[in-house]
Amino acid sequence: MMKKTSDLRKDFPLLETKMNDQPLTYLDSAATSQKPKQVIDEIADYYNKYNSNIHRGVYNLAVETTDKYENVRHKVANFINAYRDEEVLFTKGTTQSLNWIAQGYVRYNLHEGDEIVTTYMEHHSNIVPWQAIAQEKNLKVKYITLTEEGKLDLDDLKQKVTDKTKIVAVTHVSNVLGTINPIKEIAAIVHQSNAILVVDGAQSVPHLPVDMQDLEADFYVFSGHKMLGPTGIGVLWGKYELLEKMHPLEYGGEMIDSVTTEKSTFKVIPWNFEGGTQNIEGVLGLGAAIDYLEEIGMENVARNDKDLQKYALEKLANIKSIEFYGPKDPNQRCGVVSFNLKGIHPHDVATFLDADGIAVRAGHHCAQPLMDWLGVSATLRASFYFYNTYEEIDKLVDSLKKVEEFFQI
């Protein structure tokens, strides 16, 4: 059984604060989640009790810190059910992870005329790196269309993926529409053409149980700060045989095996990718976040998120001027509800909500191709996590009704 939300909220200091003299209603967890005190304490403990560098010193403090750091790699591998610990690379986040794949794998394994396939619902981080490497190597980037409801058009996917396709890059959960893409089904289609499937898990790992051995993706990436961890830490998971074909992008201390004036040799995976002093406190904070999520249980997190989203969709439907984006079925979406009020710019609505202490995102959400597909310049986005309450959703609805009255909608 999951703890009561009221008890869980006590672990999150910021949720007890005010914004504009109003109790904070934080509905922007898709941008970054709040952090429990257990994560904050773990980071403080590192600096207070065992601050030292890793993989270097033989003194006890350094050995202890190294062990703690590598133990988090093991935690991550277990959390996502990787085949082996060494498949987990620490990066600064989803964006860097995708860039590493583009620059470290695609650069050395794709050739002129090869194709990369992505979708219209992607975050810019899963578009721009492919565009950049495609321009450099004269590759072609193609986009999978969406259904009217905002789901991936799998028939179009089957048409777009050909024997020229080498990379297919899709999000697991859309950061705008909330659409949950059927990764295992997509993987089967992609692998029929011997292509590689790259999955952006930034919005899925915080909300859903994920299993690398079941999903059958080839690369899977995510960020710590969206799953209760600190900023500046993320994960690039890849099948070991693909990581062997990938080149490190950062050369220097700690990733080397030996260095002479003529040449250098590098450590084995994953340490050959982690040059220089790593974000040690970030890794340890990520470990504490995983501990927290596992204590709750990801099945419970997913169930609670679904209940919140269903309640939000039902209550928001009472706003007469509202326009929703994304699947209508709560079972086919996760984490976010994007909408607009007809005739009112999203930034104006967000500013009004801010005065009531409600934090929502307004803008293109780093997904301008999707905004073009939707035919809007921006949307409002309320995103939920297990620490949100039904009362906060009611507060959002009441505030939106006041917006309608103010603008005489």
Q: Which of 69, 75, 76, 107 is nearest to 237 (CA)?
A: 76
Over its C-alpha atoms, the chain yields an Rg (Å, rounded) of 22
Q: Please count the other Cβ atoms lying within 10 Å of the Cβ belonging to residue 50.
A: 15
Query: Which position has the token pair 């950061």?
Result: 175
Number of residues in the chain: 409
Residue 366 falls in the annotated catalytic set: yes
Q: How far apart are the first and last CA of the chain?
A: 43
Q: Retrieve residue 140's tokens.
A: 């072609």
Q: Which residues pair with 194 in a beta bridge?
A: none
CA distances from 156 to 38, 146, 153, 171 (A): 45, 9, 5, 16
Residue of 132, 366, 376, 397 marked active site: 366
Enumerate the active-site residues: 366
